[in-house]
Each structure stands twice: as structure tokens, then as C-alpha cells.
Structure 1
């Protein structure tokens, strides 16, 4: 009797823990074939010279894939790494290793779902099934108190109904052993140069260096709970877990249940904000599932785009280079450019300043964040930008940030003030 082999296609789920496609494949098959494909589409350079995936995020991704391979090897398995079009590589590997089925986690953004559709179509010609799983959110889609098409566009309404009527599922048990077929060529991890991305230059002023991988992610989660006062676990003001959540080195459910455990056992006091951040993350993913391409239009959910300045290209260059003349804005942009990470407050302030003060097309800013942010996630990035611009799914709620907020109230902004006076924006 022939052995059953399931191909596990890793994408933004680079972890062993709480990974349903991995656990389910191990349970149902004699062997699994773990695969990760570096798709050149995500590393291309635009005509303007900007990268789709910037240096810091690309390095973080490569580190995360390397750590996934290391963790699979520890369980007796391996990870096949390839560079190319998944719609060509996945079917080729499926045929080579006599795969019975392919598992992957469903995505929601149009570019990612288009890749899935092409892979699915190619496998269908081979009479193979691409099985979709849902594993990127804290709340499972099937446990929501409404179907996707009826999800409230208001976050406040969404939050009230979900917290009242839904529960977060328990995490999936991690496999203890991973058996793979004999792999002739597992493939080399690509270099950044091989992907067409320059090496990042680490800035000495950075207060934290982000290293990709599940191993560091789980350590970071525990470090977040490391601050204690008066015998109680207080935690730190910011978890800074978003880079690992973005590529799936951390499971949102794992974070949720660890907060619950810390609240129960150590009287953890700062869990509400982290839970709220995870819920916002869920909300934007579900909004993308509901509305799709609307988030990428300048007009968003409105009949027209916001007013734009006649010299917006010039203003955008000043903004992205940190040359607006507004100290807090320029400092935040210098930090983003030098590290690939800034606090949530500074992201909101930069977005509000670009759209509301400079009157620049908000999609320019969203694309720039896509390149620069280590923790870029399509739904959170584009959803937040549309929200700030007043053209998002919750457009009746607007946020306005004071760009001249005192420096002492901002997260690490003092480190990133320009050394010389900046050019004043027109």
C-alpha cells in the first residue's frame, strides 16, 4: 500500500506551534512535504526605484524561513525552499513527490489570493486538491456572530458583538515528530542579493533589532510579560510583537491565551491594549475579505478621492525623506527609514500629516509603508491608511493626530531628530 504524502505550503504562517495545516497534515498523512517559495513578484523594483519589499523586511523574512527549517529539522523533517512562481513550483513538487493533497492557509488580500487561485487551478488540472485553512486571526471566521458579508463596517459595533457572542478557540497542539519523504534537494536559502534586495544598514540609534523566526518570537512574547511591580506582572507599554505576527512566527491565538494565563496566574494588568490590537488586526482582515479591492482605491469607500495638492509629488518627497520641517514628523520618518519600524502612534501621525495637512494621495503613503515596514501586513496597512484618510470601511469615524505633540509623550522619537534643521514644507 502506497504512503500518503501531503504538501504543506507555508506562506505567512512560519511556525510550528498552533499551525493547523502542519498539525492536520501530520495527523492525516504518512509523510508531509513542507515547502516555502520565495516569489520574485514580491521582491521586484518599481520604475520609480522603490522596492515592493524593503531591506529590513526581506532580511526578517529570510531569517524567519531559516528558523522554520531549523525547527522542522529538530522534529525529524526538513523544509524545501525554492525561488520562483508558486503556480509552477508547487505542482512540480506535487508531481515529483507523488503528493495526495496540498494544504495552505487562506489569505485575504487580492495579490495573495490571486496566487492561491493560480496554484489551485494548476493543481486541479492534476486532479489534486488545494485545501484552505483559516489560521491568521484571533477569532475564527466560522465562530463570528455574522457571516462575512454582514460584518459591521463600524469597528465599535464589530467589537461589541464579537466580544459578546464569540469565543477564541484553543491553540492547536504542535506535532512532536515530522516525517518527510526522502528529499533529494531541499534547496538553499536565498541571499538578499539573490532576491534583488540590498543589505540593510543597521542604525546604532535603534533601541531594538528585530530578528525573524518563531524561536525569537516566543522569547519576545515572554519578555513582554517581564516587567513586574508590587508583585504583579505589568508588562511593557508596547509588545512590539507585530513583526512576528505579520509573517506568522507568532499565532494570534497563542498570544491571546498567554495573556489570559498571565492574567489568571500572575495578575497581569496590561492585557486589554494587546487584546484590542489583536482585535483591530482581525477586523481589518475580515474587512478585506468582505470588501477586497476597495481598500486600494484612492476614493476607498467614497464616491471620490480626498482633495489633493497640486504639488503633491514634491510634498511626498519631503515627507518620505523627513524634510517637512515638523520635528516630530521628520523624526518619526527618519526612524522608519533607518530601522523599518515605528510605534503605532507615529504611524498614525505620519499618515494623518500626509493626508490631512499636506493633501497628498494617501495611497502613496500606504505603498511607502509597504516597502519600509518590517511588520507590513496588507490588511492592517491599507485598512489603517484608508481609515485615517477618511475613505475606509469605518469612514464615519475619523482620527486626527497632533503632529506637534510634545516629544516626551512619544515613543523614542528623541533619538531620531534630524541633526541639522530640515527644509520647511511648501
Structure 2
């Protein structure tokens, strides 16, 4: 009987630079590529009444799996698609085909590692090996100049040590030929309706900065367009805090989150760009962002479940937010009466995306100004963000909530100062809050201070066409004066 390996695709939905799949093809006579949709991904979370994986991300996952399926079919192989209990399905398939091993990418957060443990227990009685491959980071975990248990608490220390002592591994070529296990029913790709969504729920608003479509081919096309066609890497550092448009930032995050793009692919393309076009602070800054992504993943590996608890990785039991559902819902729906916050939240709700600058501000506002439990905010982002990554999302929320590895204690964003700095003319706010279109730029970020006559002139009625503020925003003015 030919040697057979089952390859379990997870958050590595690509053929390029996929060490696990390449090894499976090299080690076996026949490979069975499998993807399992787990219904647990789509449960409704009771506290804040949202789906764990919302419509935008569900659509992106479906598109990514479909793209992988097409790529495999071009090589004469089908992707086996199943839905149900992941560990049980994989073990049954492994037994059915007489697999010697199951190969897969290694994950680090609790839900994913729980499935790994369940699968290991089911495979042992079958005498089937289980082998994992580290593939999600720029730097391989085994190449770090320290044990993960000694991971520096601050990003700067991490970056300096890694840049000094570690190197980025070369890319793994895509398999040239693949031989699959014959006579296995491929299964059908589910639809949005399978998970109780209607197609309209996944359609991004026409004002979206970019149409995120899942898949390796789309991710590679975005990389090529950003670097080589639009030549934008050379100005990234100057534009990265932008808030309107497709090209102020790379937008690679969604394809990275599902493994449609390898971080090493981005890195080595940047190296080529630097040698053929230009090398400057902006090109370095794109690598710098990949390092932040690595740092959050290694932090999750080090601290485990603490990442997801209100006390955070610092295990600070004094950090207890309120659970005021009305306040939270005003924040979540973009109805706080603070234009900069509302515009960002409405962009998220209508598109599944928000700029990095926006994410920091809305998180700070929820936690520091409203005092709401930060884990609710992180959970809401998990549901809505098309580029959701558990390590980066929950790591950043730990950071903002003051329970992470931020060297600054109680980091706080003055929302008014931030709004004036990053949306000076109010263009972003007006784009997402058209009801404020006639408000002058110097009034837009403190719209609640408009007099009755000014409201009439601007066609705004506070408490009617635009909400009254949930807090008094004028305290930000006082803070500005005393800086």
C-alpha cells in the first residue's frame, strides 16, 4: 500500500511557502488535503449577542478555501471539504485511507490547541503520527535568540534581539506535482446560508477602502500591486496612519490572517524591492509591522489563556471593567455622539475593516472613557474584523487595556487630539457620518458644542439626527491645555 499522509489545512490556505504541505507531498506517495469547517466558529455569543465569526470573515474564509481548491485542482488534486467536529472527522479520514500521519500547521491559542490535543488522542489508538509545522510568523520559533519562556516583555527589546541574532528563512517552493488519495468523496463548499447568514450581510458598503476577497491568488496580486504596480512601499511610513482610501496602508492583514499570504513571502519581496527600486525607512517599516505580528504570536504562545482573560497577561486582577450593555451597544453601533469614534465604528460595521489608528482610538474610548470590560470590545472585533487574528487582536486589546506588555502605564488616547491630528478637515468623519456633512471642519470633532442656531445652519439636530454624547467631550480640551 502506498504511504499516505493526510494534510489538514487550517490558517495556512496557500501553496506558496507552505512547509507542512510541501513536506507532506515530499514524504508520502499520496496526500489527502482536507479542510474542516467547525460549527463552533459560528456560534452566537450570549453576552453581547454577536456571532463568533461574522458574515464578513465567513465570506473571506469561504473565498479563501475556494481559491485553494481551485489551485489544487490545477495540479490534479481535489480539496476534501467537511463540516463538523474537526478532530473526529480528521481521525476518521486518517483511518479510512490508512494514513501513516497527519500533518498540519501549528497554532498557539487555546481553541486551536484544544483541537490539536483532541486529534492527538484520537490518532494514538490508530497508530497515526501527528506532526505540526511552524509557519505563521516571519521568524521561525526555533530561530529566536531566546526561549519563548524568556520572551522580552517589551516589543523594542524583542525587535532588537531578533534583528541582531536571527535570520528569516528562505521560502519553501510550491509542490510541482501532487498525487492524491483516490476515491474519496470531496464534499461541497458550504455557503453563507449554511451558517445562517444571507449574502447581503457579507456585502461591504460601497464606501469600503478595499474589497477584501479571500484567497492566495488575490493576496499575491495585492502584494504585487502594492509593491510593484503602485510603488507604494517607499512611502508607507508617511501614509500608514491614514484613514481614507485603499493605499494609505498595505492591507495585507486579511490575507495574512488566513495564511493566504506568507509573511516570509512579503519579506523576500520587500528585499527584492529594496534592491531593485528603493530601500528606505518606509520599506523597513513594513518589516517592522511584521515583527509586531510575530511579537503578539510569541506572546500568545508564552502566556496562553491569560491573553483572553480580563486580568490579561499581567494577571492584574484589579482591572475590572463594567458590563453596561447599553453603553457597549452605543459604542458598537457608532452612536456615542463622539464623531471620530462613531465614524470608525460605522466603517467597521459596514465593511469589516478599520484602520490601525481607528482601532487604537475606539478601543481606548471603550476602556478608558466608558470603563467597559475590554474583553467585550475584543470579542466584537473578533466577530466583525475580516482580518481577525487572535494573537494580534487580543494582544492589542491587552495593550490598550493596560494588562498587556506596554512599557507605558495606563496608555490613554485623547480622542479630540487624535481626531484633529489624523482627520484635521473632518473628511473621514463626514465620509462615514454624512449627517454631519455641513458641519465646519473646526466644529466637526466637538459637534455636541454646536449652538441651536449652528445646528440649524448645519442641518443637524443633536439628539435626533445625531446622538447626544455619552460623555462630556470637553474634558479633552482641558487635557490638551495641561499637556
Find the residue that maps to 2:470 and give its secondary structure: coil
Residues 167-222 of structure 1: CA distance to partner in whole angstroms, max 9, x if unpaired? 11011111111110213310100011112334323312223111000000000001
**TM-score (structure 1 length as normaliser):** 0.95
Find the residue that maps to 2:81 and give its secondary structure: strand
**Corresponding residue for 2:224?**
222
**Corresponding residue for 2:317?**
304
Find the residue that maps to 1:152 and give its secondary structure: coil
Question: Cα–Cα, structure 1 residues 228 and 34, in superposed 2: closer, same or farther, change >3 Å?
Answer: closer
Distance 1:340 1:167 in 2: 34
Which structure has the greater CA radius of gyration?
2
Question: Cα–Cα, structure 1 residues 411 and 30, in superposed 2: closer, same or farther, change >3 Å?
Answer: farther
Q: Which sections of structure 2, spanning at least 5 residues, go unmatched?
A: 237-246, 436-464, 472-483
Find the residue that maps to 2:51 and give its secondary structure: coil
Would the aligned equivalents of 2:234 and 2:283 in 1 still touch at CA under 8 Å? no
How many residues align? The count is 422
Q: Which sections of structure 1, spanning at least 5 residues, go unmatched?
A: none
**TM-score (structure 2 length as normaliser):** 0.84
Question: Cα–Cα, structure 1 residues 128 and 329, in superposed 2: closer, same or farther, change >3 Å?
Answer: same
Residues 146-173 of structure 1: CA distance to partner in whole angstroms, max 9, x if unpaired? 0110111111111110111111101111
**Corresponding residue for 2:152?**
152
Residue 398 of structure 1: CA displacement?
A: 5.1
Superposed CA RMSD? 1.8
Find the residue that maps to 1:365 and give its secondary structure: helix
**Corresponding residue for 1:28?**
27
Distance 2:469 2:147 in 1: 49
Find the residue that maps to 1:295 and give its secondary structure: helix
Distance 2:224 2:410 in 1: 35
For CA contacts below 8 A with separation 6 or more, give which structure has more relative contact order.
1
Would the aligned equivalents of 2:149 and 2:302 in 1 still touch at CA under 8 Å? yes
2:255 is the alignment partner of 1:256: no
Aligned pair partner of 1:340 in 326, 346, 352: 352
Aligned pair partner of 1:207 in 206, 209, 216: 209
Distance 1:409 1:209 in 2: 26
Would the aligned equivalents of 1:212 and 1:244 in 2 still touch at CA under 8 Å? yes
Residue 397 of structure 1: CA displacement?
A: 5.3
**Corresponding residue for 1:13?**
12
Residues 244-268 of structure 1: CA distance to partner in whole angstroms, max 9, x if unpaired? 0000000011011111110111115
Would the aligned equivalents of 2:347 and 2:353 in 1 still touch at CA under 8 Å? yes
Would the aligned equivalents of 1:87 and 1:119 in 2 still touch at CA under 8 Å? yes
Question: Cα–Cα, structure 1 residues 277 and 412, in superposed 2: closer, same or farther, change >3 Å?
Answer: farther
Question: Cα–Cα, structure 1 residues 89 and 279, in superposed 2: closer, same or farther, change >3 Å?
Answer: same
2:283 is the alignment partner of 1:271: yes
Would the aligned equivalents of 2:310 and 2:320 in 1 still touch at CA under 8 Å? no
Would the aligned equivalents of 1:192 and 1:198 in 2 still touch at CA under 8 Å? yes
Question: Cα–Cα, structure 1 residues 75 and 189, in superposed 2: closer, same or farther, change >3 Å?
Answer: same
Kindly report which structure 2 residues correspond to 1:22-421, keeping only aligned pairs within 5 A, or say none: 22-47=21-46, 48-199=48-199, 200-225=202-227, 226-228=229-231, 234=235, 236-269=247-280, 270-300=282-312, 301-306=314-319, 308-309=321-322, 312-394=324-406, 396=408, 399-404=411-416, 405-406=419-420, 407-408=423-424, 412-417=428-433, 419=435, 420-421=465-466
Residue 272 of structure 1: CA displacement?
A: 2.0
Distance 2:217 2:411 in 1: 36
Distance 1:423 1:314 in 2: 14
Find the residue that maps to 2:276 and give its secondary structure: helix
Residues 98-152 of structure 1: CA distance to partner in whole angstroms, max 9, x if unpaired? 1111000110111110011101111112111110110000000000000110111
